[in-house]
Every structure is written in C-alpha cells, then in structure tokens.
Amino acid sequence: MDIKAEILKILEDNARLSVDEISEMTGYTVEEIEKVIKDAEENGVILKYKTLVDWEKAGEEIVYAIIDVRVTLTREKGYDDIAKRIAKFPEVHAVRLVSGDYDFQVVVKGKSLKEVAFFVAEKISTIPEVRDTVTHFVLRSYKEEGVLLFSDEEDRRLAIVP
C-alpha cells in the first residue's frame, strides 16, 4: 500500500488522530503526512471530516428512510441531472445510482415518520422524471460506517439441557 492510501485508510477509520500519532503508526515523517493530507484536501480526495453519532443514545429521535426511486430518462434529463436535483434537498443524506428494478437509492433523514413521508410525497414524487417510489423506514441500525451500534449483550436465551 502506498503512503497516500495508507494515510487515507487510517484517517477514514479515525480522523481524530494527530499527524504525530499517524507518524508513529506508519514510520513516515510528520512532514510527509501533512503533505499527503493537504494534497488530499485540496484535490477533493478528502471531502469532509465526520463524527458518527448514535442519536438514540443522545436522546434524539431521528428517522431514516431508504427510498427506491424509478425514473424516466429524457433527452434533456439523464441520471446525473436527476440525481443532482434529488441531492440538493437538505433531507437527503445519500443518493446512489443502483442496479435492479429501481434506478436510485435515496437515504433520507428526518425528525419523524410524518416528516419523511411528507418529503417523499411533496418533493421526490413531484419531480417530473420520477415514475414511482418505494419507501423503507429504518427500524433499527446495527452497524454504521463500519461501527457496531450495540454492545455485546448477554445471551438471554435459555440453554437446552439434554
């Protein structure tokens, strides 16, 4: 693995590490690491530093929904045009072009089921190229961004004794 890929992988796993800590982990100099990070930020390789929050533990109700969207393409509007329009809504957390029966997978974040349902009905469904949608509300998340969102709980099932 080259220096750039190694540093990016480390930052992807934990962006709070200092350049000194990354230097100790990799054996590269602080200057080499700072240059890689600066270049990656300036060239749009590093897009954002992010904190992963377990909102349930923080006492906040956040509702996520995955919306499958089927579209009709026109000469004027292709996948990229439609995706850019959907992505501009602040409720939209992610937009992905996918294979299968639907064209896009849209992840939406809201404060309530009603808010998310309103978003789908009033904003997504009103886009002229959108043919139909299917909304899946996330009931519980077990893992996000590679992080387990539950602690190892004691197995409460009764043992079967022969």
Number of domains in the chain: 2
Q: Band of the pLDDT at 146, cuts 50, 70, 90?
A: confident
Domain that holds residue 93: 63-140
54 within a domain of the structure (yes/no): no
**Same domain (yes/no): 116, 80:** yes
71 within a domain of the structure (yes/no): yes
How large is the average pLDDT for residues 96-111? 97
Tens digit of each residue's pLDDT (9 = 90 or more) over 5-54: 999 999 999 999 999 999 999 999 999 999 999 999 999 999 999 888 88
Q: 145-152: list long-range contacts, CB under 8 Å, 24+ apart.
A: 145/52, 146/13, 147/52, 149/54
**Same domain (yes/no): 29, 91:** no
